[in-house]
Amino acid sequence: MLPRGFSKFFFLLILAVVTLAFMTILRPYASAVLWAAILAVIFYKTKEWIRRATGGRNNLASLLTLLLICLIVFTPLAIIFSSLATEFNVVYRNLQEDNTSMSVVFADVIRHLPAWGQHLLAEYDLDDVGEIQRKLSAAVMRGSQFLAGSALAISKNTFGLAIGFGVMLYLLFFLLKDGAHLVALILRAIPLENRVKYRLISRFATVARATVKGTVVVAVIQGFLGGLAFWFLGIQGSLLWGALMAFFSLVPAVGTALVWIPAAIYLFAVGALWKAIILVAWFVVVVGLVDNILRPILVGKDIKMPDYLILVATLGGLTVYGINGFVIGPLIAALFVTCWQYLAEPDREEKVSK
């Protein structure tokens, strides 16, 4: 008969191998699993309210919650992406036909720069307008070819995207229906003290909910307001620029400035003074207030991490995990901080509770 210690070690080895194999199987649908879990965390309280309103019918409440999520989350996204695809096709066609004359636009900006700006460009051999035009034309062509290739890749992967979306909805229904039971099973299986397990699970739910609720809502509002300003000022591709601003606003301390500052510089350079002033005032006052007022209200102090750590975690998450990284990055950082805080102050929770 094998020693008890060896049997336990062998079982843990099998468990590790099986878990790794299972993670490998789930890898193609990691995004679907992630967003199903996040949406289940965000809308679980809504499901519970619907369950009580329907007389304790858990299955019906989960189905109604799923339909509600499709109505208020996925349907608007589908409409936006459809409109965005149409506008992208227009911009791409203009780039191919060179109707936008982007190289000439940038050359005009250089010519309108003050003397010190032109001198600075001369130091870096950027004062030759003809050469800059040729480089910009080549860059636009490479960019358009890249975008065309990306669009083709997306169209080829449409079936895979549809399967992933279906998997997410399927998992989301069962996570809403059996979420409490699954969390209880996980807590029982984790070989840690109850207070540590509950603290980590609570931290995961809090950070996931706060990140998505705060970051995504603020990004959508800022993108909408930014696109509205571009449309009002007659800047072509306002929906496309609004979408870009919504994406960049996911990154703390960077935000929409990556889009609207170059636009404002261009308007100043070509003499559209009032448009430039309106654009700057709109983004500094209105769009800036959205971030400074709404984000604390929606997120509060739930994450409890310094801004620089959130910035680094978000940028690192976006680099490693792509678009999902804006959630995964802060989530990993929050769990990292929580684990080290517990290691440094293991009795903190008991002191607080007393």
Q: What is the pLDDT of residues 35-49, one digit of tens each?
A: 888 888 888 888 999
* CA atoms within a 13 Å half-sphere pointing along the CA-CB vector of 88: 15
Q: State residue 50's pLDDT score.
A: 92
Spatial contact of 227 and 347, defined as CB atoms under 8 Å apart:
no
Instruction: Name the residue among 259, 257, 258, 279 with its Cα closest to residue 270.
Output: 279
pLDDT digits 0-9 by tens, 206-246? 777 777 777 778 888 888 888 888 888 887 777 778 888 88
CA-to-CA dists, residue 286 to 32, 192, 262, 294, angstroms:
35, 48, 18, 11
Nearest-angstrom CA–CA distance, 98 and 143: 13
Confidence of residue 343 (pLDDT cuts 50, 70, 90): confident
Q: Residue 293: pLDDT above 80?
A: no
**Tally of CB atoms within 10 A around 165:** 14
The answer to whether residue 167 scores a pLDDT higher than 60 is yes
The Cα 245–Cα 264 span in angstroms is 14
pTM score, whole prediction? 0.66
Q: How confident is the model at residue 353 (pLDDT cuts 50, 70, 90)?
A: very low
**Residue 134, CA atoms < 13 Å, CB-side half-sphere:** 5
Residue labelled with tokens 């999520």? 69
- Neighbour count for residue 287 (Cβ, 10 Å): 25
For residue 192, give the DSSP letter.
S
Count Cα atoms within 13 angstroms, Cβ side, for 195: 9
Q: Spell out the residues 6+ positions from residue 212 whose beta carbon is closer than 8 angstroms to its own.
A: 38, 42, 327
Q: Are 107 and 270 in contact (CB under 8 A)?
A: no
Do residues 287 and 226 touch, judged by C-beta distance below 8 A?
yes
- Residue 287, pLDDT above cutoff 50: yes
- Asked if residue 64 has pLDDT above 90, the reply is yes
d(CA 20, CA 14): 10
Comparing CA positions, the residue from 192, 194, 168, 215 lying closest to residue 32 is 168
* Predicted pLDDT of residue 6: 64
Q: Distance between CA 346 and CA 337 in Å, rounded? A: 13
- Quickly state the pLDDT bin for 63 (edges 50, 70, 90): very high
Contact 341, 348 (CB under 8 A): yes
Q: Which two tokens stand for residue 322?
A: 């792509």
Among the ranges 85-99, 128-142, 219-233, 279-293, which has the highest mean pLDDT value?
Answer: 219-233
Q: How many residues does the chain have?
A: 354
Mean pLDDT for the stretch of residues 295-307: 63
Section 146-167 average pLDDT: 64
Mean pLDDT of 79-92: 68
Q: Assess contact for 264 and 279: CB atoms under 8 A.
A: yes
CA dist list (Å): 238 to 87, 91, 264, 295? 9, 11, 14, 24
- The answer to whether residues 214 and 247 touch, using CB atoms and an 8 Å cutoff, is no
pLDDT tens-place string over residues 171-204: 999 998 888 888 788 778 777 777 777 777 777 7
Tell me the one-letter amino acid at 106.
F
| Selected residue with higher pLDDT from 327 and 296 | 327
